A = this chain, B = another copy of it.
Amino acid sequence: MHARPALTGPVEDYLKAIYELESRFGAAATSDVAHALDVAPASVTGMVRRLATQGYLDHVPYRGVQLTPCGRQAALRTIRRHRILESYLTGVLGYPWDRVHDEAERLEHAASDDLIERMAAALGHPTADPHGAPIPTADGLIEEQPHRTLAELPVGETARMLRVSDKNPSLLRYLAEIALQPGAEVTMVARAPFDGPITLRIGNSEPVVGPNLAAQVLVAAMPSSGLRSADASGSLPSTAASKPKSRKPTAR
């Protein structure tokens, strides 16, 4: 609540990684954090203990870790900076979307709030980053859209592409090549059986992609009939993720 000491870069990255794991699985496992940050599990245990004593997270040894409200706020602040930076780099400086993540990963720890807000203003206060991830507001509210994966899209249906992970540059380059980017309308033309190739229609072209790729692309939950532009603003924002898919670490 009060003026906490400024966080270091590594600490911001830990909180961010834990936030993302927590919203996917309900809690973050030591080894998942280690994998996300590319450090040894022992390093995570050590850092987690420190951050727990400092009030940023709750740690039940051997059971995983969860953010406190204070830790969640810090995580969302870093995520906001990251995503605004990515948006600015692509939108203003002409970066390709497969190269903004690494740059933002460093700048997010160095840019002042003032700079971030100036960038956001220059972009007209965007609500999603170039990969379709929602940008939390300055006071820590984030609005997740309901979605399914492209792999789940029934044959014949059309959906609006929503989002893809920003962490795989070569995947991003390929998606750009076939024009599969957030906002694009994509139709499931055919799906070969036994996890076979998937034929899509995007604009005038009909790229054929693997099921593995399709599973990584998120599309809007509701079928998109024609050119209805769903107004993103105005709906009530929620503080965290929608419904975590349960997995290993259940904390408590």
Contacts and interface: CB of A to CB of B under 8 A. Distances in A.
Contacts of A110: 106-107, 109-110
Interface in A67-116: 89, 92-95, 99, 102-103, 106-107, 109-112, 114-115
Contact of A118 (B94, B107, B115, B118): B94
A119 interface: yes
Copies in the complex: 2
Q: Which of A89, A93, A109, A114 has the most CB of B within 10 A?
A: A93
A122 interface: yes
Contact of A93 (B95, B109, B122): B122
Interface in A157-196: none
Nearest to A111: B107
Contact of A107 (B95, B99, B107, B119): B107
Contacts of A94: 118
A210 to B, nearest CB: 31
B107 A103 contact: no
Given A94-B118, A95-B118, 18 more contacts: A89-B115, A92-B92, A92-B122, A93-B118, A93-B119, A93-B122, A99-B114, A102-B112, A103-B111, A103-B114, A103-B115, A106-B110, A106-B112, A107-B107, A107-B110, A107-B111, A109-B110, A110-B110
23 contacts: A89-B115, A92-B92, A92-B122, A93-B115, A93-B118, A93-B119, A93-B122, A94-B118, A95-B118, A99-B114, A102-B112, A103-B111, A103-B112, A103-B114, A103-B115, A106-B110, A106-B111, A106-B112, A107-B107, A107-B110, A107-B111, A109-B110, A110-B110
